[in-house]
Amino acid sequence: MKIVIANDHGAVALKQHIVAWLKAQGHEVVNLGVDVEERVDYPDQAELAVQEYQKGSYDFGIVCCGTGIGISIAANKHKGIRCALIHDSYTARMAKEHNNANFVAFGGRVEYAEPVEQMLSIYMNAQFEGGRHTQRVAKLDALC
C-alpha cells in the first residue's frame, strides 16, 4: 500500500513508530510530518496530508496530533475526506467496513489499550461492505 502520514509536535514518537512499522511491512510511506517537538499547528499538517492524498495513487492517509481529535476534525473539513479517529480494533474495522474511511487518526499522548499497529492492520485488511452503507457514505461526502 501507499500511505501518506502527517503529524504535529504532539505525536512525533507515535508517527515515527507507525512509519517504521509500515515500512517493515513493505508499505510505501510518504512522511509529511515533523520529527521535532517544536510547535506546529495540526490544521496545517492535516492540510498537507490531504493535499498530497488528493494528488492520487494513495491507499489512505494517517494523521496524528496529541489526541488525534483536532487533526481528524481538520482533515474532515476537506471534501472527499472521511477521517476516523480510531481507538481500538472494533472502531478500526468499522471505520473501513461501514464508513469507508480514507484517513485514520491517532493521538500521540493517548494510552491505547491495544497496539496502534494492531489497529492499523485491522483497518488495512478490512473491506468496505457497501450495501446500505453506500448511501450513508454518499451522504457524508455530500456534506462538504
CA dist 7 and 107 (Å) reads 9
Marked catalytic residue, from 27, 78, 98, 133: 98
Instruction: Tell me whether residue 83 is one of the annotated catalytic residues.
Output: no
What are the binding residues? Answer: 8-9, 66-70, 99, 109, 132, 136
Instruction: Tell me whether residue 78 is one of the annotated catalytic residues.
Output: no
Name 98's Cβ contacts closer than 8 Å, sequence gap at least 6: 129, 133, 136
What are the binding residues for D-ribulose 5-phosphate? Answer: 8-9, 66-70, 99, 109, 132, 136
Marked catalytic residue, from 64, 65, 83, 87: 65
- Which of the residues are catalytic? 65, 98
